[in-house]
Amino acid sequence: MIKRLTRHGNSLALVIDRPILDMLGIDANTLLEISTDGECLIISPVRDPGHQERFERVLDKVNREYGRALRRLAE
């Protein structure tokens, strides 16, 4: 997707389309972390600290239950 920045007062704004916001679970109240690797702009939603921990627990559970089957499918 190619976007143009839009003027917002003395600044420029990036408008993010609704389907992308919905897919990422972002709304007007979501804090966004903006960083760069020197070449690219990286925008990430700030998740609550427990989000990563819950994700890793679920991932471990899926790997325990379905890991062998997933490895066979990958071969």
The Cα-based distances of 30 to 1, 17, 70 in angstroms read 22, 15, 34
For 28-48, letters b (16+ CB in 10 Å) and e give: eeeeeeeeeeeeeeeeeeeee
> Tokens 């600044």 correspond to what residue?
11
Question: Token pair 């389309």 is at which residue?
Answer: 17
Query: If one looks up domain 6-74 in CATH, what number appears?
Result: 2.10.260
Q: Strand runs (DSSP E) across 1-74, as ranges? A: 6-8, 11-13, 32-36, 41-45
Condensed to tens digits (0 to 9), the pLDDT of residues 1-59 reads 899 999 999 999 999 999 999 998 899 988 899 999 999 999 998 877 787 788 889 99
Say what the pTM is: 0.54
Tell whether the model's pLDDT for residue 65 goes beyond 90. Answer: yes
Q: What residue segments make up the domains of the chain, in order of their start?
A: 6-74
